[in-house]
Structures are given as C-alpha cells and as structure tokens.
Amino acid sequence: MEKDRPLTVQSDRTMLLDVHSPSADKCRADIIAFSDLVKSPEHVHTYQISQLSLWNAISSGLTSDEILLRLRRWSRFEIDQRIEFFITDQAERYGDFILTELDDEYLLLTVRRPVFAMQLKAEPSLTPLLEAEDKSSFKVKRMNRGVLKARMIKLGFPVDDRIPLKNGEPLIIRLRPTFSPRNYQSDAVNALLGDGKNGTGYGTIVLPCGSGKTVAGILAMAALNTRTLILCPNVTAVHQWIRELLDKTYLTENEIGEYSGEKKDMKPVTVCTYQIVTWRPDTDSDYPRFSLFRDGGWGFIIYDEVHMLPAPVFRITAELQAIHRLGLTATLVREDGREDEVFSLVGPKRYDTPWSDLEAQGYIAKAYCHEVRLPLPEEKEIEYAIAKKREKYRIAALNPLKMDAARKIIAKHQGESILIIGQYLEQLDDFQKAFGYPIITGSTPTKKRDELYAEFREGKVKVLIVSKVANSAIDLPDASVAIQVSGTFGSRQEEAQRLGRILRPKERDSHFYTLITEYTEEEEFAQNRQKFLSEQGYNYSIEKAEMYE
C-alpha cells in the first residue's frame, strides 16, 4: 500500500490530484482509465468521473471492484458511499445490453433486466431498429448496428458490443529503422489495440497539438498491417499525412493515394478529406462517395481531428462497426455536445495525457498566453451600443486598433516565425494590405497554400496571415508566435487548435497573443476560451495595449 496518497475524491465525482506528490504519476496512470482530465494547472489537476468515462473503462476490461480499489489506494480520505454506488451502478449498467452475432442478416441484442426491455419496446426512436425475439432479446439488422448504439447511448443505455472486428485486406506496413516513436505514442497505440480481442482495436486517442498524433496513427497502421483509409479536415492535412507515411514507413507512392478535389487516386492506403466524402450534388440527394467507405476493402479507418466529424460521416461510420477504427484529437470538446457519438461510433477514449506533462518533458513547446486588451474607438461606441448581440461581437472583433497592436507585437518578436490568425476575412484582408504579408484563406488554391506553408517552414516567409483553415492539422514546426485577432465566439475547441499551431518543440519558448476589445461582448466570449486553456495548465497574462509602446 502506498503511504503517499495524493488524491482527494470529492462527492461531486471530481478528483483533485496533487501533482507535487512523489506518487502523482503512479496515481494518474491508475485513474486516467476511468476518469476525464478536466483541468491541469500548475499545482492541482482535476479529473471527473462520469457515465461516459466509466463506460470507457468497463468497455476496456476494468471492473468496478478494480476501479474502487484504485481509488482507495490513492485517496487521502474515505470514499463517499454515493461515489461507490455510482461506480458500481454504472459498471453494472454497461452489461445490461449485450450485442452478439445471430446469423448472416441479424445481430442479437440481449437485455439483462426485464424493466429495461420494456423501456426499449416503448422508446419511439428504437422501434424501427428492434424486432422482439423474446421477452429479453431483440433482433437487429447488421446495417443498424451503429445507429442502435448511438441512439441507445443518448438514452443512457450503453451497448456492450461483443461482435469481433473483421480483418480487412492485408497490407504489409513496415516502419523505417530511423524512425523512433516516443514512449507515450507507443503507449497510446497499445491502449487502443490491447490484446486484439473483443473491445479493443477501436477508440480515440487524445494527445496535445504538436505531440505527434499522426505518428500514433502510423504506429497503429504498422501493428494492424491492413488496407487503411485516413480522413482529414483539409487537403493540406492530406498532403501532410502522405509526407509522414513516406518518411516513416516503407510504403511507396504507388501504395498511397490522395482522394481529394484535385485527385481521385484509390490505393491500399488512401488519404482523403471529410469534405470530399460528404459531397452531394444537392441537398435532396444521397452521398455518392460513401462507396469510398463501403467498397475499399478497408481493415482500418483513421479519423484525424475526430472532434470535427461532420454529421454525414457519423452516419456512414454507423455502418462500419466491423472495422478497426481510430479517432485522433487534441480535445474531445465539441460545442454541440456530441462526444457520446464519438464514443459509440468511433470508439471510447483509450488514451489521454496532460498537456503540461508533455511540456515539462520537452515534447511540446513551453507556451505563454497573453490577452491584450484594447479600447473600442470612440467613433464606434454609438454603433456598438445600439447593435444586437451578435453584431456587437463583430464590431468588437473588427476593432481597427488591433492592427497597430499586432504591428507592435511583430516588432517585439522580430525574426521569429509568426502567425496572424483571424475569423473575419475582411479583417485579414485589411491586415494583408497594411502589412504586405502573404495570406491563406479558404479561397487560396491548394497548390498556393502548400507553397506558402513550405516557405514558412523553410523560413523564407517569417509572418503568415491565416484564416480558420489553419486552425487544425497543419504542421508548422518553427512557428513560435501566434497573434489571434478574432475568433469563433467562445469556442474552446478553436482556442486549443490555434494554440497548437505553435506547440511543436523548438529552441525558443512560444507566445500566444489574443487581441480583445475590453468592456465588450468579445471580452465575455474570450473568458470562456481563456478558461479552457487555463484548465490545460496555461497561465494567461492580462495586458494593456500600451504595454507594447
């Protein structure tokens, strides 16, 4: 029994971990399997036990007895009886609905408690999916496997899917000997694949921006050795994946295909965008490119930036429950609250690690966050006062004083690689005209984007203006300064992604500046964005624009 007990388990199911404790790392390794990391500032990290986190744990093979044993091992105080009941109850609930093979056309949903079987029969959203077999079981068409799981988890009924994953067409994927993965990347893949039996081989890996999520995906591909489909948020990310695969494996250009608006190459490993597979000729048509999923002989599908999954991809993923699946993301936060769909359709969270831990180990850059507050110009005050809420935000975000503040920050960081990031294209165009720096927006051709990103990586371009197209899946390792001039209201997800542009490890520290118009709607939304990064362990300094005189 450990003498040092760094954990405080509270009655609201939050857990406080003293990170200065000698046993903090051992304790974290024990509790992360059944809880979610909520906050990780410098002294105490907060974890939350929830229905979803417990179902994650049970689906991975943990029992309620093992979870309670771990809590008692590390807790400074006696565990509240309500916590014990919640853990035991949720663990038992996970086994209440078991999905198994029946025949070539149907699966069998077995319900352990008669009261729950009656509830399923009475639930309108499930009526089209279930055919009563007897009092405690239902037939489910194979094509409805994922839809059933998604709808049931919305009702608080997690399905224990015990149907083995099928192997796709084989493809030998060997890693180059010069490639040496980091320990946490290997640990993440081991957590995903486990022993290869039921309940393993699908799920989500959560790693900070800049920590090498792509590498984790490549390691999983090399472990599975099967035809692989990789979905990305944009074409730049597609090209990035292809570069990494050629660099770190013995796969050849003849084995890796790009399926995008520019190319339609289907190969044993195909990398495509979400946009291309969700295209349809009009809003009343079906999605003709869903055949890319169905007919590729895939044994593995990787969802890069899985938190961005569009609804149509959720739909087709519901049909693909027999395939190994991996979601990669820096944060599972979704402003629409659809994290449970990621759990039920792509797979539960298998691995997570605090950003601050990887920063302390030198795997991601040390970053300083600055909120720079500017006044609203006097000539804009009346316009702002009479505007509606959304328009108030826009007026504040487009504050013309931000241009001068950005100019001073750029001068302060002369010679460093700097990104100016914004939401409003008219604002970015004004910056481009005033400063003369190159700009990338959604209308920039892919070839031009790739050229500018390459010049930025090579140091030929030191300052680059980018719209939200650069929020995610862009590898710019030398970027050390980001100046955020406007954002998407209070999106925590976007804040994490934008900070991630400057988190690649480098010789110098990184700086993330957010320009805010004080005493306006923008300041209110900024507090929500700021709160998220503070919870990841980043301290914000609040500064006035005149500090940069």
Mean residue pLDDT across the chain: 86
Q: Where are the alpha helices (DSSP H) in 159-266?
A: 183-193, 213-224, 235-248
Residue 6 pLDDT level (bands cut at 50, 70, 90): very high
Query: For residues 142 and 288, which has the higher predicted lDDT (pLDDT)?
Result: 142
**CATH assignment of 359-548?**
3.40.50.300
Q: CATH for 95-161, among 1.20.81, 3.30.450, 3.30.1360, 3.20.190?
A: 3.30.1360
Residue 5 pLDDT level (bands cut at 50, 70, 90): very high
As a whole number of angstroms, the distance between CA 253 and CA 161 comes to 37
- The per-residue pLDDT for range 174-184, each reduced to its tens digit, is 999 988 999 99
Distance from chain centroid for Cα 361: 22
pLDDT at 73: 94
CB 203 within 8 A of CB 348: yes
Query: For residues 248 and 522, which has the higher predicted lDDT (pLDDT)?
Result: 248
pLDDT at 197: 45
pLDDT of 355 over the 80 cut: no
Residue 549 pLDDT level (bands cut at 50, 70, 90): low
pLDDT at 489: 58
- The per-residue pLDDT for range 12-69, each reduced to its tens digit, is 999 999 989 999 989 988 998 899 887 777 788 889 998 888 887 887 788 999 999 9
- The per-residue pLDDT for range 146-172, each reduced to its tens digit, is 888 888 888 888 888 888 888 889 999
pLDDT at 535: 67
CATH topology agreement for domains 95-161 and 359-548: no
Instruction: Please state the φ and ψ torsions of residue 8, each to the nearest 5 degrees.
Output: -115, 115
- The per-residue pLDDT for range 296-311, each reduced to its tens digit, is 889 999 999 887 777 7
**CATH assignment of 183-353?**
3.40.50.300
pLDDT at 1: 45
Question: Which strands sit side by side in the sheet containing 479-484, from one edge to the other?
Answer: 439-440, 463-466, 417-421, 479-484, 510-517, 367-374, 540-544
Which residue is associated with the tokens 């990103």? Answer: 453
Residue 143 pLDDT level (bands cut at 50, 70, 90): confident
As a whole number of angstroms, the distance between CA 475 and CA 502 comes to 9
Among 40-44, 205-209, 477-481, the minimum mean pLDDT is found in 40-44
Q: What is the pTM of this model?
A: 0.79
pLDDT at 462: 94
Strand pairing category for 256-259 and 324-329: unpaired
Residue 432 pLDDT level (bands cut at 50, 70, 90): very high
Q: What is the DSSP letter of 166?
A: P
CB 506 within 8 A of CB 364: no
pLDDT at 378: 92
pLDDT of 516 over the 80 cut: yes
As a whole number of angstroms, the distance between CA 315 and CA 147 comes to 8
Over its C-alpha atoms, the chain yields an Rg (Å, rounded) of: 25
**Across 405-409, average pLDDT:** 94
Query: For residues 5 and 477, which has the higher predicted lDDT (pLDDT)?
Result: 5
The domain segmentation of the chain, as residue ranges, is 7-93, 95-161, 183-353, 359-548
- The per-residue pLDDT for range 250-305, each reduced to its tens digit, is 999 999 999 887 788 889 999 998 888 777 777 777 777 777 777 788 999 999 98
Could you please report the per-residue DSSP string of 364-401?
S--EEEEEEEEPPPGGGHHHHHHS-HHHHHHHHHT-TH
